Amino acid sequence: EPEVTQTPSHQVTQMGQEVILRCVPISNHLYFYWYRQILGQKVEFLVSFYNNEISEKSEIFDDQFSVERPDGSNFTLKIRSTKLEDSAMYFCATAGEDAWVTGELFFGEGSRLTVL
């Protein structure tokens, strides 16, 4: 079964460092999302990406965050200067055109970011 893969599974970084989280979406998917989940809390929307541009972003997604799809396959989330409060599990999710019928959003297994 096709799956969304994320790397790294866990990253520990010092405050102020840049972090890049990578996601390989399912090959024919067109809609890409990043969510984050602070330990024990709800899943929060960060950004959605379609047709090589951001389609929507939340207030969490400030200037420290950026997304891109540099090579047409990987979908990356960059945090320029990490803060302690960025410590969370970051989920990549993707959907195909039929998501509006089937409803399924495919999640990766998450990348746990720990900022020290």
Partner 1 sequence: AQKITQTQPGMFVQEKEAVTLDCTYDTSDPSYGLFWYKQPSSGEMIFLIYQGSYDQQNATEGRYSLNFQKARKSANLVISASQLGDSAMYFCAMREAQFYFGTGTSLTVIP
Q: Which residues of the shown chain bind partner 1 in the complex (CB under 8 A)?
A: 33, 35, 41-45, 48, 55-56, 89, 91, 93, 99-107, 109-110, 112
Q: Which residues contact 59 (CB under 8 A, 6 or more apart)?
A: none
- Structure token digits, residue 111: 């990348």
- Of the pair 17, 41, the CB lying nearest partner 1 is at 41
SS3 at position 85: helix
- Given the complex with partner 1, which of 79 and 89 has the nearer CB atom? 89
List 114's β-bridge partners, or say none: 12
Tell me how far, at minimum, the Cβ of 70 lies from partner 1, in Å: 23
Paired tokens of 94 = 């993707």
Nearer CB in complex with partner 1: 17/28: 28
CA distance 69 to 45: 18
**In the bound complex, what is the minimum distance in angstroms from residue 109's beta carbon to partner 1?**
5
